[in-house]
Structure 1
Amino acid sequence: MVPLPNQLEDIIKGVAMDILDAEEAIKLYEVIGNHKDTLIKDNFENLFAVLQVALLKNTILAINKIYETPKKTYPLRSLPAAVKILKDNCNKFKIEQREQLEQKLTNWGLDKKCFISLSDLELTNIVAEALNTKLPSKEEIKNIKEVRDKQVAHHELIDKEKSSIMWSHLDDLLARAKKIVGVIGNHYIGSFYEINDGEYVLSYDASITSLSLMRLLKKAGIVN
């Protein structure tokens, strides 16, 4: 049987890739939306509208995978599955960088004075409970598809303003996922996903393709 720390690491690595996929798609979508008028003027609206719809679907698929509820029949690489492993096996995990973890919990509104006398097992139980509150409700996840259907019903270019409600919802879900991955990665599996007071390390990687798209549009003379 695979050791629990290895199971947890495998899940977090899988979720991190889904976060990367979603964030990459969002950044590409925004580049297209920010240059909507120019793309329409140069008769590229059909191409980039189809790309936007595909990027949105990819984002929604990735976020649904991130928050999928664990099944008894087969294992999932999702945050609810990761939190459940941590919660059910508090005695099996050693906390790394404990002082920084306590500070994170304090930033979330918990009293740091209560942590001093706690064992790793007891503190991990508190961490699992705190992470569980960061997970979205079933209704919030259900709303993703509804928002998609209302905001992008047809293949037409969507600018940033018109899609602001949808993206604020998706951005919030991604921000929560990054926080959870940061806590579990940094403090339970020894993989640093979060640095410098909350900076998510893979966000730069997610921006590489959108920066490449901008260079391509400039080189083609489509945008300045």
Structure 2
Amino acid sequence: MVPTPKDKLKDIVNQGVKIDIFDAEEAIKLYEVIGNYKEKLVKDNFDNLFGVFQIALIKNTILAINKIYEEPKNKYQLRSLPDAVKILKDNCNDLKIEYREQLEEKLTNWGFDKKCLISLSDSELTNIVAEALSTKLPSQDEIKDIKDVRDKRVAHHEFIDETKISSIMWPHLEDLLERAKKIVGVIGNHYLGSFYENNDGEYVFSSEVSKTSRSLVRLFQKAGIVN
């Protein structure tokens, strides 16, 4: 059975991007918890151990975000947001819009004229959505830094001049993560008919991420590292 455009979107989101968002968000939270207790860990001589953990968490974050924004390949479909947006563009006549009024409201908040949106057909509105989501995808320049680190430091062990690799800042990674959650919120809520973003614009699966970081804090407490 040939998968429908909706099937393809569901596969990209649920079997790819949603998992990668979780992995990146969880890694960032764990990294932050370790950083918050750095002085205590150094005092108890656990700094080397948890420093190794932090390096692994950085690698996990970089790999996950690269997967989220990997550009489509001609030979095969990727589970990435650029591929999801491409499916929207290429299948605007076939995709059903769920909760159209809420979608119009979101686009209005993004600066579109509501009267104009109301007059559009579903296929025309989907085309507008695809264009709007395209503008939220990072440019090649914006994502070059983390691709460089993935290619030069994580995926391969190349002998290179360290000064040629741009530094990765957590705010940049977090911004890319937030963009991904917004895009998934639109696709999930309005084309998959599932609840990915609540009425306040919050990504509903983020609450699950805190479970692991809270467990790490409890571990520190039981070990007597923190009170």
**Alignment TM-score > 0.5, same fold:** yes
Amino acid at match of 1:217: F
Instruction: Report the Cα distance in structure 2 between the residues aligned to 1:23 and 1:85, rounded to whole angstroms.
Output: 26
The answer as to whether partners of 2:92 and 2:123 remain within 8 angstroms in 1 is: yes
Q: Which residue of 2 aligns with 1:72?
A: 74
Unaligned runs of at least 5 residues, structure 2? 153-167
Alignment of 1:144-223 (within 5 A): 144=146, 166-223=169-226
Q: Which residue of 2 aligns with 1:162?
A: none
- Runs (4+) of structure 1 exceeding 6 A deviation are none
1:140 aligns with 2:109: no
Instruction: Report the Cα distance in structure 2 between the residues aligned to 1:99 and 1:197, rounded to whole angstroms.
Output: 15
Q: Which residue of 1 aligns with 2:58?
A: 56
Report which structure shows greater RCO (CA 8 Å, sep ≥6): 1
The answer as to whether partners of 1:90 and 1:124 remain within 8 angstroms in 2 is: yes
Amino acid at match of 2:64: A
Amino acid at match of 2:66: N
Amino acid at match of 1:183: V
Q: Which residue of 2 aligns with 1:20?
A: 22
RMSD: 1.8
Report the TM-score, using the length of structure 2 for normalisation: 0.89
Amino acid at match of 2:23: D
Paired residues in the alignment total 211
Amino acid at match of 1:5: K
**Residue deviations 1:110-160, cap 9 Å, x none?**
1112111111001000000000000001111111256799xxxxxxxxxxx
Instruction: Report the Cα distance in structure 2 between the residues aligned to 1:192 and 1:19, rounded to whole angstroms.
Output: 16
- Offset at residue 108 of structure 1 (A): 1.1
The answer as to whether partners of 2:29 and 2:210 remain within 8 angstroms in 1 is: yes
Unaligned runs of at least 5 residues, structure 1? 150-164
The answer as to whether partners of 2:89 and 2:127 remain within 8 angstroms in 1 is: yes
**Residue deviations 1:143-183, cap 9 Å, x none?**
1256799xxxxxxxxxxxxxxx7111001000000000000
Indicate which of 66, 81, 84 corresponds to 1:82: 84
Instruction: Report the Cα distance in structure 2 between the residues aligned to 1:106 and 1:39, rounded to whole angstroms.
Output: 48
Amino acid at match of 2:6: P
The answer as to whether partners of 2:104 and 2:118 remain within 8 angstroms in 1 is: no
SS at match of 1:92: coil
Report the TM-score, using the length of structure 1 for normalisation: 0.90
Rate the CA distance shift 1:9–1:145 in 2: closer, same or farther, 3 A. Answer: closer
- Range 75-84 or range 100-109, more displaced: 100-109
Instruction: Report the Cα distance in structure 2 between the residues aligned to 1:87 and 1:145, rounded to whole angstroms.
Output: 26
Instruction: Report the Cα distance in structure 2 between the residues aligned to 1:167 and 1:26, rounded to whole angstroms.
Output: 8
Instruction: Report the Cα distance in structure 1 between the residues aligned to 2:222 and 2:113, rounded to whole angstroms.
Output: 54
- Offset at residue 40 of structure 1 (A): 0.5
- Offset at residue 68 of structure 1 (A): 0.1
